[in-house]
Amino acid sequence: MKFLVVDDEHDVETLFRQRFRREIRSGKVELVFAFSGQEALEIIKSTNPPDIVYIFSDINMPGMSGFELLERVKSDYPHIHVSMISAYGDTENYQKAKEIGAKEFFTKPIDFKNLREELHDVLEDNE
């Protein structure tokens, strides 16, 4: 199952690969990374139908924000789940994300225990 992580900080890739190495090694999860909202859309569109099941996206990125990406994904690919990640866990960002259609909202530093539970829930739902 393909999960797309979108964040303009490149070190996020190393962090996610370390934290989910067991799931990656087992073949249950394939992590794909995009470093901008535009790159994320290109990855999603690269297969028809898209093979991305879930997106974890940062909110604050140069160019297309995570909110703009969320709007585009929910409009064009409503079956893809999207969770937002932000350094700012304020109520306004949370409310906006949920209104647009985010499944979950995580704050940085990321609680990987909660994120792993979310990932495993998706895996179970798709078995």
Q: pLDDT tens for residues 12-48?
A: 999 999 999 999 999 999 999 999 999 999 999 999 9
Whether the pTM exceeds 0.75: the reply is yes
Q: Binning pLDDT at 50, 70 and 90, where does residue 125 land? A: confident
Instruction: List, in order, residues 6 or more apart from 15 with CB less than 8 Å away.
Output: none
Half-sphere exposure of 80 (CA within 13 A, CB side): 28
Tens-place pLDDT, residues 46-66 = 999 999 999 999 999 999 999
Q: Does position 126 have pLDDT exceeding 80, yes or no?
A: no
Rounded Cα distance between 55 and 44, Å, is 10
- Tell me the pLDDT of the chain averaged across its residues: 94
Q: Is the dihedral of CA 55, 61, 62, 63 positive or negative?
A: positive
CA distance 123 to 61: 28
How many CA atoms does the CB half-sphere of 93 hold within 13 Å? 18
Domain 2-125 fold is: Rossmann fold (3.40.50)
